[in-house]
Structure 1
Amino acid sequence: MSTAAVIAIAIAAVVVLGAVSFLTLARRSDVRGAGALSGETKSRDKASRKDARAFEAAATADGARTAAVAEAEGEAARGAGTALATIDDDAALVPWTAPDPEVIGVSRRQFFNRATVTLMTASLGAFAAAAFVGFLWPSGSGGFGGSVPIGKLDTIKDGIKQGGGFFYAPEARSWVTEYPSEALPIARTVYPTNLLEAMENGIVVLSQKCPHLGCRVPECATSQWFECQCHGSQYNRVGEKKAGPAPRGMDRHPTTISGSGEVVIDTSTVVPGPAIGVNTTGQEAEGPHCTGGGDH
Structure 2
Amino acid sequence: MNPLVILIPVLVLLAGFVIFASQRRREDAGAAGYLSRETRKRDRSSRKATALQEGSTGKDVERAAQLARKGGDLVPVTEPAPPAPFVPPDAEEIGVYRRQFLNRSIIGGFILGLSGFGAAVLAFLWPQTRGGFGSKIAVGKLSDVQKAITNGNGFAYYPEGRMWITAYPSSALDKAVKTYSAPELAGMKEGVIALYQKCVHLGCRVPACLTSQWFECGCHGSQYNQVGEKKGGPAPRGLDRFAMSVANNSLTVDTGVIIQGPPIGTNTTGQEAEGPHCVTGAGGHH
In the superposition, the TM-score normalised over structure 1's length comes to 0.57
1:234 to 212, 220, 223: 223
Residue in 2 that maps onto 1:170? 159
Sort the Cα spacing of 1:183 and 1:293 in 2 relative to 1 into closer, same or farther, 3 A: farther
Q: Which runs of 5+ in 2 are unaligned?
A: 1-55, 67-76, 83-110
RMSD over aligned Cα atoms: 3.2
Decide whether the 8 Å contact of 1:141 with 1:148 is kept in 2. Answer: no
Decide whether the 8 Å contact of 1:143 with 1:172 is kept in 2. Answer: yes
- 1:200 partner letter: K
- 2:161 partner letter: A
SS at match of 1:177: strand
2-side partners of 1:211 and 1:56: how far apart?
A: 96
Residue in 1 that maps onto 2:134? 145
Sort the Cα spacing of 1:166 and 1:92 in 2 relative to 1 into closer, same or farther, 3 A: same
How far apart are residue 170 of structure 1 and its match?
Answer: 1.2
SS at match of 2:219: coil
- Is 1:160 aligned with 2:163? no
- 1:275 partner letter: P
2-side partners of 1:178 and 1:126: how far apart?
A: 47
Which structure 1 residue ranges, 4+ long, deviate > 6 Å from structure 2? 62-65, 125-128
How far apart are residue 168 of structure 1 and its match?
Answer: 0.6
2-side partners of 1:177 and 1:143: how far apart?
A: 19
Partner deviation per Cα, 1:42-99 (whole Å, 9 max, x = no partner): xxxxxxxxxxxxx95513657999xxxxxxxxxxxxxxxxxxxxxxxx886479xxxx
Q: Which runs of 5+ in 1 are unaligned?
A: 1-54, 66-89, 96-121
How far apart are residue 294 of structure 1 and its match?
Answer: 2.5
Higher relative contact order (CA 8 A, sep 6+): 1
1-side partners of 2:280 and 2:58: how far apart?
A: 101
SS at match of 2:227: coil
2-side partners of 1:133 and 1:59: how far apart?
A: 74
How far apart are residue 131 of structure 1 and its match?
Answer: 6.7
- Is 1:266 aligned with 2:254? yes
Residue in 2 that maps onto 1:277? 265
SS at match of 1:168: strand
Partner deviation per Cα, 1:225-272 (whole Å, 9 max, x = no partner): 00011111000000000111111000000111112x211101111110
How far apart are residue 144 of structure 1 and its match?
Answer: 1.4
Matches within 5 A, 1:60-209: 93=80, 132-139=121-128, 142-209=131-198
2-side partners of 1:157 and 1:274: how far apart?
A: 24
Decide whether the 8 Å contact of 1:239 with 1:250 is kept in 2. Answer: yes
2-side partners of 1:128 and 1:60: how far apart?
A: 72
Sort the Cα spacing of 1:145 and 1:56 in 2 relative to 1 into closer, same or farther, 3 A: farther
Residue in 1 that maps onto 2:106? none
2-side partners of 1:93 and 1:179: how far apart?
A: 104
Residue in 1 that maps onto 2:59? 58
Q: Which has the larger radius of gyration?
A: 2
- 1:285 partner letter: A
Partner deviation per Cα, 1:24-52 (whole Å, 9 max, x = no partner): xxxxxxxxxxxxxxxxxxxxxxxxxxxxx
2-side partners of 1:62 and 1:160: how far apart?
A: 105
- 1:284 partner letter: E
2-side partners of 1:63 and 1:290: how far apart?
A: 110
Sort the Cα spacing of 1:144 and 1:280 in 2 relative to 1 into closer, same or farther, 3 A: same
